[in-house]
Amino acid sequence: MKTDTPVTIRRSDYAPPAFLVDTVELDFSLDPAATTVRARLALRRNPEAAPDAPLRLDGEGLALLEARLDGAALPPERLEFGADGSLTIQDPPEAGLLETVVRIAPEKNTALSGLYTSGGNFYTQCEAEGFRRITFFPDRPDVMSRYTVTITADRALCPVMLSNGNPDGSGAAEGDRHWVRWVDPHPKPSYLFALVAGDLVNVHDQFTTRSGRLVSLNIWVRRGDEDRCGHAMDSLKRSMTWDEEVFGLEYDLDVFNIAAVSDFNMGAMENKGLNVFNTKYVLASPESATDGDWQGIETVIAHEYFHNWTGNRVTCRDWFQLSLKEGLTVFRDQEFSADMGSRAVKRIRDVRGLRAAQFPEDAGPMAHPVRPDSYIEIDNFYTPTVYQKGAEVVRLIHTRIGPAAFRKGMDLYIARNDNQAVTIEDFVAALQDASGVDLSAFMGWYDQAGTPELAAADRYDPATRRYTLTLRQRMPPTPGQPRKHPLPIPVAMGLLGPDGAELPTRLEGENAVQAGTRTLLLDQAEQSFTFEEVPAPPVPSLLRGFSAPVRLKGVPRDRLRFLAVHDTDPFVRWESGQQYAASVMLEMVAAQQRGEAPGFDEALAEAVSNTLAAAEADPAFAAEALLLPGEGFLADQMEVADPVAIHRVRRHLRAEIGRRCGAALRQAYGALADTGPYRIDGRSIGRRALRNACLAYLAAAGDAALAKAQFDSAGNMTDSLAALSLLADTDGEAREGALAAFHARWRGDDLVLDKWFSIQAMAARPDVIQAVRALYAHPDFDLRNPNRARSLIGAFASGNPAQFHDASGEGYRFLADAVIALDLINGSMAARLVGPLGQWRRQSAERGALMRRELQRVLDTPNLSKGTFEKASKALA
């Protein structure tokens, strides 16, 4: 929707819906240019709403053809159309059957919200507010209805026609048309409605639930993609089993359909009984998908399936409660993936992701609480804060009350709230009531934006053998929240003796010692914890498993080195190595800024050698440990970021390590070569990751031939892409040849072609901006396809900080140009991509001025979408 004065929606303004809709009958007559939608809504006034509240139905871009109330046509004077497209019925009855017929044009829908076409097939996307682009309706999650959907279409164009729930009949219609009916027995909000129709084929399987329900499982794809659905289907069956075993939750319909579509704004959507997926999270073959893609599919399939209970059966009262379903469901998918593979490595990856995306968001102009207080465009709040930090907050509570009480609390949450639209308070109350632990202070995590900083000081008294650990928390202000109060922070910890052995601990006042990790609860600004009978000055290991989403600051380097080698907790071992490297690298950045030659810290080379020597035990962990902290992570720790200096330092360091550890790296690289057939299991994936980490160091040290050899002989996408991304950073023939060969081989595969675009957009080369501009004009580039737009524009602006922040400002100009062009096509995608320009406060004054200029240019564009307006205006505020 375009508007000049976008309205801010506030959480404090919540009012219950004026009317409820008990049942909905929808009849679709599908046609790409002119689809008609007949809707029959059984309406009644909500006893909980104001008695005189108007009957207002949301609508957007709908051409109303008919409107009847209880069978009688509504005269025009009883219909009032709002500027936003809504429809208000004057003198509404207390209850009645409202029937409307509207016409829409799916093939013209480039926003991919509502009903749209992709490759000639029909798909819907209704979350958050897309249903109003299909029919007039109170399009808000606290209106839950039972749906009956009849779809009619041309038999040849749409042999397959799907909607939510269970199938309920089909037959011939006029001419070459046919119809099918779907009935969903479960009441649901409109955002979970879905329709998919077209020339699709299915991969079929089945699953019997614990209580004996036989469920038909189907993945619907375009002809030719059938043989790439096996992993998605396996992941689905594993998810169904896991949710029964871990949460006691069973599937509740006779069919579970998944449809894959290549034009999709997000990853996937949990529509009841009919999930719609971005093809990226369904289709995979060993030749075309990387190990990362493989893991992404498993996670996203699980995530959407888990929504069936956390999101669908129990849904959100309003969109401010979004994390009620998203934070909880991410927590559940993280636990699932941890159980399917290595828990430690999964945790490391999740924390890496949180820091790369959520920490900067919390430190930028769009910082918002996990439960926001206001928004202009809800699409802008599908954020790392709502998802990933939301999952961390669920994890905090899980840590605080323990797994058994958490499970009891989840049972209670579902029993109490089944088939209702509820709030985050309802969730926390269930966990509190089931555990008997007062969780009221944890609500602060939902209400306060920003990342707390945690610092520790300690003192050992040899005379009394007492050891006192003092923890402090501090939270910097965020937009609209100048003052913060302390939050409850569970600090999982242990003490290591001078020889590196874990010490049993006993806190002052306790009777018995405790072995291993224990959790301290810091809930004041500062608190001291005294341990007794500590034999020698210990080294504290804090925040084991990353027990809270905070920044632990000021751990001295000697302790980091010690912990990186000795700690019993794999997360802290990894983390200490990363923090050590980060501290060295930030010092190198400072030296570089002073114009000094960068030094080299021998300890880093030593750490790489040690990691390689011990890698056999857990190659995936070793691969994580070998990776140097990312450029974004380093920038996020600087008052004023210097992306170019950071990039130079990281590159220099990689080359130095590659040279100094060349022999060990080469040896490991050779030893890790895949001999047997290609396999996708945790260990094989770990070995490939480790081998490619070695290759990256060797390439940084100048060995492009090895990368070229790997590219030429690679038998799987992981190895091929790892080599290609290294070659893309180099000069000369090998680079051009490899890129051309890759394009020639994969030009027919959109998902792989996306990778080809991304690799070039993220290359470390001085001419990248020109290359990106040229790729933008490439015949294979298509701004209307979200995956392709992300693969070039998003990859460049978020994945190539040194080039994006080029002092010329050309990177900023490119992004603004692309955002302005895209906003006309798909406002919600444009709003997503504009983000990096908002980080100007963390850049130098010169860069900041250039970034602001581009933001202003975006903001001055006529008819800007609400979403892009919100992002750009908040960034400039």
> Which of 494, 642, 488 lies closest to 550 in space, CA to CA?
488
Burial of 508 (0-12, 13-18, 19+ CB in 10 A): exposed
Q: Determine if 109 is a binding residue for ligand PHE (CB under 6 A).
A: no
**Minimum CB–partner distance for residue 490 and Zn ion (Å):** 25
Instruction: Return the number of other C-beta atoms located less than 10 Å from residue 485's C-beta.
Output: 10
Considering only residues 371 to 410 of the shown chain, the ones binding ligand PHE according to CB under 6 A are: 382
Q: Determine if 823 is a binding residue for ligand PHE (CB under 6 A).
A: no
| List 304, 326, 631, 870, catalytic entry | 304
**Minimum CB–partner distance for residue 260 and ligand PHE (Å):** 14
**Minimum CB–partner distance for residue 269 and ligand PHE (Å):** 4
Q: Which does 125 bind (CB under 5 to 8 A by kind): ligand PHE, Zn ion, none?
A: ligand PHE
In three-state secondary structure terms, 153 is strand
- The two counts, helices (H) then strands (E), for the chain are 30, 32
Distance (Å, rounded) from C-alpha 403 to C-alpha 307?
20
Q: Determine if 127 is a binding residue for ligand PHE (CB under 6 A).
A: yes
Give catalytic status of residue 304 as yes or no: yes
Q: Determine if 125 is a binding residue for ligand PHE (CB under 6 A).
A: yes
In three-state secondary structure terms, 604 is helix
**Minimum CB–partner distance for residue 303 and Zn ion (Å):** 5
Distance (Å, rounded) from C-alpha 63 to C-alpha 84?
13
Distance (Å, rounded) from C-alpha 53 to C-alpha 544?
53
SS3 content of the chain, % helix, strand, coil (to 5): 45, 20, 30
- If the CB atoms of residues 309 and 711 are measured against Zn ion, the closer one turns out to be 309
Binding region for Zn ion (CB under 5 A): 326, 329
Helix ranges restricted to H, 546-593: 557-566, 570-593
Query: What is the residue whose two structure tokens read 């170019």?
Result: 644
**Minimum CB–partner distance for residue 128 and ligand PHE (Å):** 6
Beta-sheet strand order (sheet of 551-553): 526-531, 466-474, 453-461, 551-553
Q: From 122-130, 341-349, 439-447, 572-580, give the range in contact with ligand PHE by CB under 6 A.
A: 122-130
- Stated as kind and residue range, the H or E segment containing 826 is none
Residue nearest to ligand PHE (CB): 266
End-to-end CA distance of the chain: 23
Q: Which does 382 bind (CB under 5 to 8 A by kind): ligand PHE, Zn ion, none?
A: ligand PHE
Q: Which does 858 bind (CB under 5 to 8 A by kind): Zn ion, ligand PHE, none?
A: none
Does residue 439 contact residue 445 with C-beta atoms inside 8 Å?
Answer: no
# residues near ligand PHE by CB under 6 A: 13
**Minimum CB–partner distance for residue 394 and Zn ion (Å):** 13
Considering only residues 297 to 316 of the shown chain, the ones binding ligand PHE according to CB under 6 A are: 303-304, 307
Q: Determine if 280 is a binding residue for ligand PHE (CB under 6 A).
A: no
Distance (Å, rounded) from C-alpha 116 to C-alpha 280?
19
Instruction: Return the number of other C-beta atoms located less than 10 Å from residue 349's C-beta.
Output: 17
Residue choice 195, 266, 833, 858 for contact with ligand PHE (CB under 6 A): 266
Q: Which does 266 bind (CB under 5 to 8 A by kind): ligand PHE, Zn ion, none?
A: ligand PHE
Distance (Å, rounded) from C-alpha 328 to C-alpha 674?
38
**Minimum CB–partner distance for residue 420 and ligand PHE (Å):** 19
- If the CB atoms of residues 332 and 708 are measured against ligand PHE, the closer one turns out to be 332
Q: Which does 854 bind (CB under 5 to 8 A by kind): Zn ion, ligand PHE, none?
A: none
> Which of 537, 518, 567 lies closest to 465 in space, CA to CA?
537
What's the token pair of residue 200? 């699709």
Q: Which does 127 bind (CB under 5 to 8 A by kind): Zn ion, ligand PHE, none?
A: ligand PHE
> Which of 222, 298, 304, 200 lies closest to 256 in space, CA to CA?
304
- If the CB atoms of residues 387 and 697 are measured against Zn ion, the closer one turns out to be 387
Distance (Å, rounded) from C-alpha 866 to C-alpha 326?
23
- If the CB atoms of residues 370 and 620 are measured against ligand PHE, the closer one turns out to be 370
> If you ran DSSP here, which 8-state letter would residue 719 be given?
H
> Which of 257, 254, 214, 195 lies closest to 232 in space, CA to CA?
257
Q: From 46-54, 261-269, 348-356, 656-664, give the range in contact with ligand PHE by CB under 6 A.
A: 261-269
What's the token pair of residue 151? 């779809």
Q: Determine if 326 is a binding residue for ligand PHE (CB under 6 A).
A: yes
Q: From 162-170, 268-276, 350-358, 568-576, give the range in contact with ligand PHE by CB under 6 A.
A: 268-276
Q: Determine if 112 is a binding residue for ligand PHE (CB under 6 A).
A: no
**Minimum CB–partner distance for residue 492 and Zn ion (Å):** 27
Does residue 280 contact residue 268 with C-beta atoms inside 8 Å?
Answer: no
- If the CB atoms of residues 270 and 642 are measured against ligand PHE, the closer one turns out to be 270
Q: Which does 269 bind (CB under 5 to 8 A by kind): Zn ion, ligand PHE, none?
A: ligand PHE
Q: From 125-133, 465-473, 624-632, 699-707, give the range in contact with ligand PHE by CB under 6 A.
A: 125-133
**Maximum Cα–Cα distance for the chain, whole Å?**
96
Instruction: Return the number of other C-beta atoms located less than 10 Å from residue 170's C-beta.
Output: 14
| Partners of residue 44 on adjacent β-strands | 20, 95
Binding pattern for the stretch 128-167 against ligand PHE, x by CB under 6 A and - elsewhere: x---------------------------------------
Residue choice 269, 351, 489, 696 for contact with ligand PHE (CB under 6 A): 269
- The site for ligand PHE (CB under 6 A) is made up of 125, 127-128, 265-266, 268-270, 303-304, 307, 326, 382
Query: What are the residue numbers of the active site?
Result: 304
